[in-house]
Each structure stands twice: as structure tokens, then as C-alpha cells.
Amino acid sequence: MQDKLTKIFKSAKYETATDLNKKVWNTIIIRNKRNIRIKFWTFASMGLASFIGLIPVVKILLTDLAQSGFYEYFSLIFSDSGTIFLYWKELILSLAESLPIMSVVYAFSLLFIVFLSLRYLMKQVGKNQLSFAS
């Protein structure tokens, strides 16, 4: 019964439209291109916006570093090594206290996004998929 039913079911199979698999594949190609295009422009605009934002944030960071006295504490590292060796704990604490945390976090976050976007764009160039992005 098993073999006979298998034979019967197989012989009753519907004919598939000859170009159905081509249509499916073409749809996938179109979707893939669209996804690449969306990703490309998202990363490009994110990278550009982060890079533009990075300029004032770095300026603020430098001003904060100057105002908090970080540079002065930092320059002590290159002064008398004997004193540094004795008071290294205090120096590290002073450096940490004078560090403008928020500005540093903002600057590094933006820098991270810029590098992430650059990495993705370079990858796309490597894969030669930029033709999809236009």
C-alpha cells in the first residue's frame, strides 16, 4: 500500500509554473539590493552625522580637560619620577577626579559610531556591492 500510494501521489503532482523559481529568486535579489541600499545610506548618514557631531564634542572635551586641571596633573607624570613613585595613588585619583567623564563618554561614543560606519562601508566596498547603493 505504501509504495502504491507514494506512486499515486507522485503521479498526481501539480505542474509548477516554469518561471516560478526565477520569480522567487528575482524577488530575493531585489529585496537584497533594497536592504543593502537602506543599510548603506543609514550607515553613511550615521557616520557623517557622528563625524560632524564629533567636532564640537572634541572641542568641549579639550576645554573641559583644560578647565579641570587634567593637563597639569598629567604633566606631573613626566616630572620627578621619584615623587611620582611615592605618590602614584594620589596622582591617579587626581587624574580620575579631573577627567570630564561625560565629555569623554560622548566623544568616544561618537568616535565608535564613526568607526563602525566606516567599517561597514569599507566592507561593502570590499564585497563590491556598492552598485546596489546607488
Partner 1 sequence: MSDEEIITSYKNGNLNAFKDLIDKYTPSIYNFIARLTNKNDAPDLVQEIFIKAWKNIGRFNPNKASFKTWIFTIARNTVTDFLRKSGSASGGKKSINFSDLDTKEESFSENIPDENLLPDKVLEKLEDSEILNKTLEKLSKNYQEILILHYQEEMTFEEIGKILSKPLNTVKSSHRRAILELRKILAPK
Query: Under the rule (CB under 8 A), what is the footprint of partner 1?
Result: 1-2, 4-6, 8-14, 16-17, 20-21, 23-25, 27-28, 31-32, 127
Rounded Cα–Cα distance for residues 74 and 76 (Å): 5
Q: Residue 122 CB, nearest distance to partner 1 (Å)?
A: 16
Min separation Cβ 5 and partner 1, Å: 5
For 59, 73, 81, 84, 96, the CA distances from 87, given in Å and listed in that order, are 31, 12, 10, 5, 14
Which residue number, 102 or 125, has a Cβ lying nearer to partner 1?
125
- Minimum CB separation of residue 106 from partner 1 in Å reads 34
Q: What are phi and psi of 129, to 5 degrees?
A: -105, 10
Nearer to partner 1, 29 or 86 (CB): 29
Spatial contact of 129 and 76, defined as CB atoms under 8 Å apart: no
